[in-house]
Copies of this chain bind each other. A is one copy, B any other.
Amino acid sequence: MDVRSYIEENSAAFFSELKQWLRIPSISADPSRHAGVRASAQWLATHLRGIGFPQVEIWATGDDAGPGLPSVYACWPAADPAAPTVCVYGHHDVQPVEPLGEWDSPPFEPVERDGMLLGRGASDDKGQVLLHSLGLRACLAASGAAAPPVTLKLLIEGEEESGSPHFAALLRDRAAALACDVIVVSDTTMWAADVPSLCTGMRGLAAAEIILRGPQSDLHSGSFGGGVPNPLHAMAGLLAGLHDAGGRVTLPGFYDKVVSLTPRERELFGRLPFEEKAWLANAGHSLSTYGEDGYSTLERVWARPTAEVNGMWGGHTGPGQKTIVPREAHAKVSFRLVADQEPADVLGALQEYVAAQTPPGLEAVVLPEGPGVRPTTAPIDSPAVLAAQRAVARAFGAEPLFTREGGSGPEADLTEILGAPLVFVAAGLNSDRIHAPNEKVDMAMLLKGAEAVAYLWDELAEVSLSTGPR
């Protein structure tokens, strides 16, 4: 029996299993649902044991500040000890469901409708995790082998929707068990049902609060206005100066480590049927595009670094007028980063910039919001990405294009701590309404995703990953 036939014959059972899992409300951000997250881990562990994984463990997480929520780890060694090792990453916790009134059916009572499976976690990320179970069974059924062609490890996190607070520590503690040649992340999307694609990079992040302090208290602008520096004015100048006239970020050295898009990557991005008007309509009807000169919108949001003001405040913000020179000004800024920018470099450059731009008499403070997130990349010519490209082409019947994502989760920790390259293989769609009411997944996409990973293990078994670029 070939992979596709196995998947077709077992699809009803697969969706029945998925619905069982979706009924468990594993909302990691809601302490009252933490029992649900633990039950979800138990369900998955039991399921993986049931399909034959010889090693399945529930890994507790936590630190001095308190316990975390469990990850599920499973390992099925290849028969050939020389076969490469693949670690699949996904997560079994889900987003909160508010506003509950906007759901057409209860979020934890999954229902099928017009080829879609509706329910919280259907796409993000339980559906995309469970397709690996179906894919692996199809792979084994098609080959008749007792073990997969690669050593397959699964690491399914329980705190991704809460910012993965214990994930890096878990990776460090369990680095030996998780050792691998390639990491397959199944927590992104494809371009469209008829435009299969592979994500090839995610932007990183550096964020900070800037505080400018001036007078020791708010001053009467009649008495002092025009004679002393105004922190809000100075902040406006600082923020306005973060970009030059061409939309480039002005922090010293900001672009030094940026890996430019290759002509090939730009050409492939250009093939995506991107409808800018529809994209803009999601943001606001009167909005127009804006950004760094010389780049398309997709290039701007996927592959170019940015500076954004996320918030600012200071002085009188209530009704009416209060004619003051305010004592201080605040701004929250963040930078989306692309390979090979380092968050620490960018935060250092921000401090340098703020110090240089602050007028005499004002005091400036830059408070980094954590260490930031490194950008990740999966180069389109790496052996693992090429293997995934072949697997997806076989399953979907079309050559996949390449995308990126503008933000990221714990992927940078995965590749850095485990020391292995990333490949993004997903079956979600941008229309899945993840994080929103009426989350859904295209059932046909999940089956094709399962087929793609079944082929992927064969493809990866045949290439040399140890020499591939990180």
Contact = CB atoms under 8 A, between A and B. Distances in A.
Interface string A284-314: 1111111110000100110011101111111
Given A290-B359, A308-B323, A323-B205, A406 B225 contact: yes
Contacts of A369: 320-321
Interface stretch (A40-48, A79-87, A212-220, A444-452): A212-220
Interface stretch (A4-12, A19-27, A239-247, A389-397): A239-247
A161 B388 CA distance: 75
A193 to B, nearest CB: 20
A308 B228 contact: no
A233 interface: yes
A230 interface: yes
A115 interface: no
A248 to B, nearest CB: 11
Nearest to A405: B222
A456 interface: no
Contact of A304 (B226, B237, B284, B312): B226
A317 B313 contact: yes
Interface stretch (A31-39, A88-96, A123-131, A324-332): A324-332
A120 interface: no
What copy number does this chain have within its complex? 2
A237 to B, nearest CB: 4
Contacts of A220: 406-407
A153 B304 CA distance: 73
B308 A225 contact: yes
A214 B222 CA distance: 33
A241 B239 contact: no
A324 B310 contact: yes
B323 A283 contact: no
Given A311-B326, A315-B332, A214 B406 contact: no
Contacts of A241: 240
A467 to B, nearest CB: 32
A439 to B, nearest CB: 16
